[in-house]
Structures are given as C-alpha cells and as structure tokens.
Amino acid sequence: MLEYWLSSIQHPWLLALLILLGSYILEDAAIVFAALLSADGAISSQLAFWALFIGIFTGDLGLYGLGVLARKVNRLSRFLDLSSVERSGVWLENRMSTTVLSVRIIPGLRFPVYTACGFFKLSFLKFFMLVFIASIVWTAFLFSGFYAVGVMFWSELGLWKWILLPVVVILIMYGHRLIYRTYGVLK
C-alpha cells in the first residue's frame, strides 16, 4: 500500500496539482519545490512552470475578487474613514500599472494592493493584463534560476536533497517573516 501511495505521488500530473495548490499557500516555496523537482526529472520543466504560473496568476486574480467581495460588506464602512478610502482609491487608480507590477516583487504588499484594486473596482481587464505580465515574468525568472541551480548540483546530493528541501522551505518562510517584521508589515 505504501509503495502504491509513494508511486502515485510521483505522477507528473499529481505533482503539477500539488505545485499549483502549493503556490496558493507559499508561493516562493512552491517555486523552489517545482524547479528542483523538475531539475531532478520528477516532472517536466514545462509542466512544472505552467502549474506554477496558473497557481500564481489565479491566486492574484482571487485577491482582486476578495476585494470586490469586501466592498459588499456593509459593516466594514463603520471602521473606515470613507474620505481617506476614496482618496486612496483615486491614488491607486492613477498609479495602477506601476503599483501592480512593482508589488509583485515586494514581499507582503500583493495582498493589500491586489485586494484594494478589487475593492475600488479598478479596471479588471487592466488588472488582468498587468497581473498576467507580472506573473509570467516573475515565475519565469525565479523558476529558471532555481532550475539552473538545481541542474548544477541537485542530482549530486543523493538522498540528502530530500532533507535539504524542507530546510530550504523553512528558510524561505523565516526570511519572509523577517522581512515582514523589519518593514512593519506584521506587528
């Protein structure tokens, strides 16, 4: 039974699904995981890349949708200074392109900015196109970098690589928390 379970985990389409779902939970770790699995030959680089891209892209679109839903919560207005909120919406609308593209690389800002785009009902088509471009460039850049590193040394590590992978994921999670705390995103 255990052998069947382990062999089914190695199926490329199941790995692609896990990569896609993993990108919703911890995007950077999913990128590292996908690139290293691909470098190891467990999944094709094309399938791993597209699973990542679809997960990252749809996750960003989901943040926009969350903002649209938040606008419909009437009780929320009790906690907001509506004039400040409207000024923020105008500011974001005037700087939408540069803001949406730049927050892709700044940890901790995608959630508030992409959700705000939906909350302020900014152009979904423009948001869609900007997020598409940002997601494909970001995913290609990081995936190819980690894939190249993985091809250079990953197969040489033998069984140690499966111990090293969770360590890398934990270091990424710790790095995110450190960045969030340093820049005041998490209090």
Q: What is the C-alpha separation between 113 and 118, in angstroms, rounded?
A: 9
Q: For the segment 114-144, what is each residue's pLDDT rounded down to a tens digit?
A: 999 999 999 999 999 999 999 999 999 999 9
Does the structure show a pLDDT above 80 at 18?
Answer: yes
Model's pTM, two decimal places?
0.79
Q: For the segment 146-159, what is each residue's pLDDT rounded down to a tens digit?
A: 899 887 776 676 66
Among residues 173, 180, 186, the alpha carbon closest in space to that of 32 is found at: 173
Does the structure show a pLDDT above 80 at 93?
Answer: yes
Q: What is the pLDDT of residue 133?
A: 96
Q: What is the pLDDT of residue 187?
A: 38
Among residues 1, 11, 51, 4, the alpha carbon closest in space to that of 31 is found at: 51
Q: Where residue 1 falls among pLDDT bands split at 50, 70, 90?
A: very low
Q: Count CB atoms within 10 A of the CB of residue 154.
A: 20
